[in-house]
Amino acid sequence: MTTKEELIAKSKKPAQDAMRLHPFYKGKIEVDLKCSVRDFKDFAIWYSPGVAEPCKAIAANKELVYEHTNKGNFVAVVSDGSRVLGLGDIGAEASMPVMEGKALLFKYLGGVDAFPICLDTKDTDEIVNIVKALQPTFGGVNLEDFAQPKCFEILDRLRKECHIPVWHDDQQGTATVTVAGLINALRYVKKDIKDVKIALIGAGAANVCIANLIIFAGADPGKMYITDSKGILHKDRIPELKEKYKEKADLAEKTNAEGRKGGIAEAMKDCDVVIALSQPGPDVIKPEWVTAMAKDPIVFVCANPIPEMWPWDAKEAGAVIVATGRSDFPNQVNNSVCFPGIFRGVLDVQASTITDEMCITAAYTIADLGAEEGIDPENLLPNMDNVEVFIRQAVNVGLKAIELGIAKKNLTKEELRAKAEEAIYRSRNVTKMLMDNDFIPEPPAE
């Protein structure tokens, strides 16, 4: 049997490998050609003088940019590095490995061409203006690792002021996959979302959005207890919150009907579910707090890089299902399983935004595929290696955008599936070809 010490040692391995392999590859993405170059005469087609003709066509009709260029598959991954992976405000340059990693996932999992745009400013107005000015180049924008409360304002303003979809993955992506995990966890323990008590530990961008999406999915807000660094949100705290943390003030108003006060232990008491996205652990949540939860407790401890408690400790304390944000533990609840498929569908129909309805559609798509394959305490959701989860999300999210009237392209289910398969399999096959031919070299031995 594996010991706790061996499990902890194993959990440190990805970080050790990252420090070895990042310098070896010197980055994770590059620009490759997608057009043929039969000989140097082709440059006259792709550049001067031939390129003038598509330029003139686009000048006459801007929508033709989607036909003559790759704009419709370009996504900007934008960050100011102010709240990176539980590491905090580490700056734009230090955020680059994360943004490159995000671009890698976009490409390999969704066939989306994404680029890191790390900004040397933390001014909200400047960030909004920069992103708006990027719209001619990109078909969508993924906001990443912005500190709160400005992350809410940046997203709200850009969704209103941009004509391309803008998405904050730390909010919407994390919320989508968390709802998917919650759906299947509740299916396993045979509880209804409208009846359960839910403690949310942490009131940052992720958990604020999670709380709202869970409510949108049918949970009773009165039975939800949300904690921040000062304790449980309740109505008496609204005056202190409403000026600087409007979103938290809104949740203090509509959650916690009984007026429960205290800290994490009090928030978790008698709850059916705890969803923690607070600070790296492993001692943020105590085993005795899990033991004090309701029958068959569900524990999501999703802080990065170390969860709020080790999953084996949660199990020993009585948790029936434990999920984390890590790929090296069972039940990864991580936005990587949703954003590539969602953006694939959004780009394929040229949707103008990404709504809560589209997020719920994606959540049920993920959960239903997991249920098809069989839910058990170690397998809540499909993993990233399941290509079908991204294809189905692309199809269903695209169809939902068409239904909501926010899509420029009206495609059938069959057409959406064909487009998603083509883009995703092309990306994977090209990567394999480059590896097979040593253009992407094998990592060096340890």
Q: For the segment 187-239, what is each residue's pLDDT rounded down to a tens digit?
A: 999 999 999 999 999 999 899 999 999 999 999 999 999 999 999 999 999 99
What pLDDT does 179 receive?
98
Stretch 85-91: mean pLDDT: 86
Residue 14 CA to residue 18 CA, distance in Å, equals 6
Contacts of 42 (CB under 8 A, 6+ apart): 35, 36
What pLDDT does 326 receive?
87
Chain-centre distance for alpha carbon 417 = 22
Q: Which one of the listed residues 28, 102, 223, 419 is annotated catalytic?
A: 102
Contacts of 292 (CB under 8 A, 6+ apart): 265, 268, 269, 270
Per-residue model confidence as pLDDT tens digits over 147-192: 988 999 999 999 999 999 999 998 999 999 999 999 999 999 999 9
Q: Which one of the listed residues 4, 12, 34, 47 is annotated catalytic?
A: 47
Going by C-alpha positions, the residue among 339, 335, 327 that lies closest to residue 110 is 339
DSSP string, 150-191: HHHHHHHHHHHH-SS-EEEIIIIIHHHHHHHHHHHHHHHHT-
Residue 332 CA to residue 177 CA, distance in Å, equals 10
Stretch 438-443: mean pLDDT: 95
- Average pLDDT value for the chain: 95
What pLDDT does 148 receive?
85
DSSP letter at 117 equals E
Stretch 8-20: mean pLDDT: 84
Residue 5 pLDDT greater than 90, yes or no: no
Asked, as a colleague might, if the bond just before 340 is cis with ω within 30 of 0, I would say no
Are the C-beta atoms of residues 165 and 72 closer than 8 Å to each other?
no
Tokens 């990443």 — which residue?
A: 144
Rounded-to-5 percentages of helix, strand, coil across the chain: 50, 10, 40
DSSP string, 72-98: GGEEEEEE-SSS-TTS-S--HHHHHHH
Chain-centre distance for alpha carbon 306 = 18
What pLDDT does 9 receive?
78
What pLDDT does 1 receive?
63
Going by C-alpha positions, the residue among 155, 257, 251 that lies closest to residue 212 is 251
Contacts of 185 (CB under 8 A, 6+ apart): 273, 298, 321, 323, 380
**Distance (Å) of CA 281 to CA 226, 287, 310:** 18, 13, 8
Active site residue 102: yes
DSSP letter at 23 equals H
The model's confidence at residue 349, banded by pLDDT at 50, 70 and 90, is: very high
Per-residue model confidence as pLDDT tens digits over 260-315: 999 999 999 999 999 999 988 899 999 999 999 999 999 999 998 889 999 999 99
DSSP letter at 6 equals H
Asked, as a colleague might, if the bond just before 441 is cis with ω within 30 of 0, I would say no
What is the residue type of 214? Answer: I
Per-residue model confidence as pLDDT tens digits over 387-398: 999 999 999 999
